[in-house]
Amino acid sequence: MADHHVGNLVLTDLVKRYENTDPAARPAVDGVSLDVEAGEFLTLLGPSGCGKTTTLRMVAGFETPTSGTISLDGADMLRLPPNKRPMAMVFQSYALFPHLSVFENVAYGLRIDRVRRARLEEAVEIALTSMNLTGLGERFPHQLSGGQQQRVALARAMVVQPSVLLFDEPLSNLDAKFREQMRREIRLLQRRMGITSLYVTHDQAEAMSLSDRIVVMNAGRVEQVATPAEVYTRPASVFVGNFVGRASFLPVSGVVVRGGRGGVSVFGKEVEVAADPGVGSSGVVMVRPESVVVSPVFEQGCGVVRSAVYLGAGVDYEVETDQGTVLASVGDPDVGGLLEEGTKVGLEVDASRVYLLPRGGGGGGCLASCWCSPPLAEPGPRCAIVSMPCPHLSRR
């Protein structure tokens, strides 16, 4: 069944409005359209409550869409009950059958398909081996660690060779170390078997490391569908840039965008940066902290260090500038040379790493505050232009 040419999953204008909810409010899923290519690993990423699980459950058949269509290789899925859809789901809670042994859990789907005994045993053994569960077949779920339980859940879903695998935050119950290992294993296995996968998570690192493409969702809508690199470097909106990784957003105006590039002023320097086609005369410049260079010398733009957090592998500085608060991440710091709070510093940015976005979505104002909560809590003052003598500017 695992034909590598099947598994093209298409969602069109999917809307889900839960019964018993305010009809005036936005639906839980509000017009989602996706085209998951055969064999692709696609991740739905977004904050909790944005409709990821609902979308996934509609695909699985556990929820009925209010409107829209779901098709798999051209066949209408909405006509089929969940058990007739050639998909298998891996649950956040694992949902192992507590009264069945590991072997019987994995064999469950094959027994439903009435697979012959010899073939069934072989398939289960292969699945257990591939998930490093050899020798655990006789155990019961409660005799396994969380990680082992999750492997059983994976083996159970993969062994039926579905056309589409559905994952709902399968790693969120594991501890951080183990999560990374499982990520790699899931990715390897999925690549090897070439099964189309739709994966839901709110963890951007998970989405980045697993996916061929990421769908960033917000309030029931799709904000962007792109590769992890694109989502990170060229987010479609402030929301996306904000949710995926950390960034400072500096409002700019009087911009002229031509041919996908725009001239803007960043830290007192005129630079030409890549721009979203939707940017008008004013926009927002996204600066990732790792592309900011902080130096005690005032050759370029300037600001005042408001906080310095030593992280071992690097230092995070919060620098207040004329354009707002900027987060800068300096790698491999020299412990003796940490800049103290209140120090005046120069800032520089690699223009090729800066991206110009339309202003909408962030609500203007204190855009730079996305990555740390205190500025959000006290609006206004932090965003005020810092008026301080700037030697560099006055020299010019």
Ligand X SMILES: Nc1ncnc2c1ncn2[C@@H]1O[C@H](COP(=O)(O)OP(=O)(O)O)[C@@H](O)[C@H]1O
What residues make contact with another protein under the rule CB under 8 A? 47-49, 60-62, 81-84, 87-89, 91-99, 101, 108-109, 112-113, 140-142, 146, 149, 153, 156-157, 160, 166, 172-173, 202-205, 242-243, 245-246, 370-373, 376
Contacted by 54, from another protein, ligand X, Mg ion, none: CB < 5 to 8 Å by type: ligand X
Q: Decide if 297 contacts 346 (C-beta within 8 A).
A: yes
Nearest C-alpha neighbor of 97 from the set 87, 112, 107: 107
Give the shortest CB-66-to-ligand X separation in angstroms.
12
| Residue 260 neighbours by CB under 8 Å, 6+ apart | 274, 275, 277
User: Which residue lies nearer to ligand X by CB, 48 or 387?
Assistant: 48
Contacted by 28, from another protein, Mg ion, ligand X, none: CB < 5 to 8 Å by type: ligand X
What burial letters (b/e) apply to 296-306, b meaning 16+ CB within 10 Å? eebebbbbebb
Give the shortest CB-36-to-ligand X separation in angstroms.
18
Nearest C-alpha neighbor of 25 from the set 1, 53, 49, 52: 49
Contact footprint for ligand X (CB under 6 A): 18, 21, 28, 46, 48-54
Does residue 53 bind Mg ion (CB under 5 A)?
yes
> For Mg ion, which stretch binds (CB under 5 A), given 46-54, 216-224, 316-324, 356-364?
46-54
Contacted by 246, from Mg ion, ligand X, another protein, none: CB < 5 to 8 Å by type: another protein
> For Mg ion, which stretch binds (CB under 5 A), given 52-60, 238-246, 336-344, 352-360?
52-60
Contacted by 51, from another protein, Mg ion, ligand X, none: CB < 5 to 8 Å by type: ligand X
Tokens of 180: 């990374």
Q: How far apart are the first and last CA of the chain?
A: 71
Contacted by 370, from ligand X, Mg ion, another protein, none: CB < 5 to 8 Å by type: another protein
User: Which residue lies nearer to another protein by CB, 137 or 141?
Assistant: 141
DSSP label of 270: E
Q: Decide if 5 contacts 196 (C-beta within 8 A).
A: no
Give the shortest CB-211-to-Mg ion separation in angstroms.
17
What burial letters (b/e) apply to 170-188, b meaning 16+ CB within 10 Å? bbeebeeeebeebbebbee
Distance CA 45, CA 202 (A): 5
Contacted by 71, from another protein, Mg ion, ligand X, none: CB < 5 to 8 Å by type: none
Q: Which helix (H) or strand (E) holds 146?
A: helix 146-158
Give the shortest CB-217-to-another protein separation in angstroms.
12
Contacted by 396, from ligand X, another protein, Mg ion, none: CB < 5 to 8 Å by type: none
Give the shortest CB-200-to-ligand X separation in angstroms.
6
User: Which residue lies nearer to ligand X by CB, 53 or 161?
Assistant: 53
Contacted by 192, from Mg ion, ligand X, another protein, none: CB < 5 to 8 Å by type: none
> For Mg ion, which stretch binds (CB under 5 A), given 19-27, 48-56, 62-70, 248-256?
48-56
Tokens of 215: 């769908």
| Residue 132 CA neighbour count, 13 Å, CB half | 11
| Residue 382 neighbours by CB under 8 Å, 6+ apart | 320, 324, 325, 366, 369, 375
Q: How many residues bind Mg ion (CB under 5 A)?
A: 1
User: Which residue lies nearer to ligand X by CB, 9 or 292?
Assistant: 9
CA 99 to chain centre: 35
Single-letter code of the amino acid located at 375:
P
For residue 86, give the 3-state DSSP assignment.
coil
Sheet with 29-36: strands ordered across: 29-36, 9-16, 67-72, 75-76
For residue 201, give the 3-state DSSP assignment.
strand
User: Which residue lies nearer to Mg ion by CB, 136 or 215?
Assistant: 215
Q: Which residues make up the interface to Mg ion (CB under 5 A)?
A: 53
